[in-house]
Chain A
Amino acid sequence: MKGPNKHLKGIITRCTNYKESDRIFTLISDDGIMKFIARGAKKPSSKLSGHIEPLNYIALYYRPSKSLNSVSQVESIHSFLEIKKEYNLILKAQYMMELAESLSSENDGNSSILNLLLSALKNIHISKIPTLDILIFEFEILKLQGFGISLFNCTNCNKELERAEHYFSSNVGGFYCARCFESKSLFSESVKVTIDQQLILRTISRKNYKDLINFNLSEKEIDNCRKLIRDSIRDIIGVQLKTVKFSDL
């Protein structure tokens, strides 16, 4: 059942060698997450060789198949060479790719995750505080996939949250007002979040990224915010991502 060649763009997130000279790879594409086989790509003389590497933004032609789609032609669009020169940036990029993988689904015909990942990767090497960029990426990708964190109202009674310390539950992906928190005795499943941390998250949610620079944020404050989001991600996906512990370096 050989159909016509199809065209697609996307970022390669992971590759494995297969048989003597083939490579199997995962692509976050403008049509969701997909798996491909690039036959002969391991041979140096192959036209595919070199292009099939994680952290490459490529355009490809492939023949759809019931098992593995086979790639017939590849062209690199962007190779993120600036990231590939720095160990710490490679680790951060891999975390972003694994997170994007874990929240993507097959054939969803939606390019928003790809676009978000692309712009995050393009910015990370010029960023003054890469952890902040990761926090923004985490926040945005959750929102995009319908797991947005509710910051302004109590997740239980929907009352507007006043300016105070509140308790955050990664399980429900939001904050409790003081009253709900007391009456339901939710101590075990929530963590206290400072006003500053809430302010950071609210500023991100309003996309006022320039304001964040003026906040003079410390890495520690960003880390504390990341911890909240990271726990939410773990609860949504059901497992801890393998790259999490490397992304803080």
Chain B
Amino acid sequence: MTSGKNSLPVEVQKLIIAFSSLPGIGPKTAQRLSYFVLSQNKEETLKLAGALKEVKENLSYCRTCCFITSDKDSENCYYCYEKESEQVCVVENVIDAITIEMSGIHKGSFHVLHGAISPMNGIGPEKLKIEELMKRLNKGETKEIILATNPTLEGEATGMYLNKIISENYKNIKLTKLARGLASGTDLEYSDFNTLSNAFQNRTSID
């Protein structure tokens, strides 16, 4: 950092610090973004500022499915009301739910865990929205849980944990998980053992 930075107006310094707090943005990029904002017309910048403010002030997490909702005081969000509650797709993060929702593949509702079990980072099951999921299952409406945690070590561990407690406590609920295997556009020769082993295990017959 050059000493020149300190002579910058305090507003700019604050903006640079604010940008640096975003994931994947280092000091250099934060500076570039700040200078861009300075050169941008006022209307555009205020639109961005307004959007940031609205997201924080108007949205919260649904108390049932833990997905984002603009309905702060109700027990159920749009997805809990409108979607079939028989099929619940369990995901790690809001962004995963949005991705699946946008694909239009899943007609049921979601449950967002807000993370994955990660002992190395001190995150155990108690830090995830698992109690909320159990509360939902206690209502008896759910017939199938689709585990859609990421195919990473942490995502798999989370899936195994959920599989264990759900199969032990809710014998009538069908448990499924998203297929693991080769991704389209990849070369077999570069596949890792885990992916290959999954692809072999989940192989399908050719009709």
Which positions in A face B, CB cutoff 8 Å? 13-15, 18-20, 44-45, 47, 49-51, 53-56, 76, 78-79, 81, 84, 86-87, 90-91, 94-95, 97-98, 242-243, 245-246
Contacts and interface: CB of A to CB of B under 8 A. Distances in A.
A50 B120 contact: no
Contacts of B194: 50, 53, 56, 79, 81, 84
A12 to B, nearest CB: 9
B161 A49 contact: no
Interface of B, secondary structure class, is helix
Interface stretch (B100-108, B134-142, B184-192): B184-192
A243 B119 contact: yes
Contact of B190 (A47, A55, A81): A47
A19 B24 contact: yes
B186 A49 contact: yes
Contacts of B183: 44-45, 49
Contacts of B18: none
B185 A45 contact: yes
B157 A87 contact: yes
Given A44-B185, A81-B197, A87 B160 contact: yes
Contacts of B154: 54
B190 A97 contact: no
Contacts of B190: 47
8 contacts: A13-B120, A44-B186, A49-B186, A49-B192, A51-B192, A76-B192, A81-B193, A81-B197
A94 B152 CA distance: 14
A98 B120 contact: yes
Given A19-B24, A53-B153, A53-B194, 16 more contacts: A13-B120, A15-B152, A44-B186, A45-B185, A47-B190, A50-B192, A55-B153, A56-B192, A76-B192, A79-B193, A84-B153, A84-B194, A87-B161, A91-B119, A94-B120, A243-B119
Given A81-B197, A87-B157, A53 B192 contact: yes
Contact of A90 (B122, B153, B193): B153
Nearest to A22: B24
A239 B197 CA distance: 38
A84 B156 contact: yes
Nearest to A88: B160
Contacts of A51: 192
Interface in B2-55: 24
Contacts of A242: 119-122
A50 B185 contact: no
Contacts of A76: 192-193
Contacts of A84: 153, 156, 194
B164 interface: yes
B153 A95 contact: no
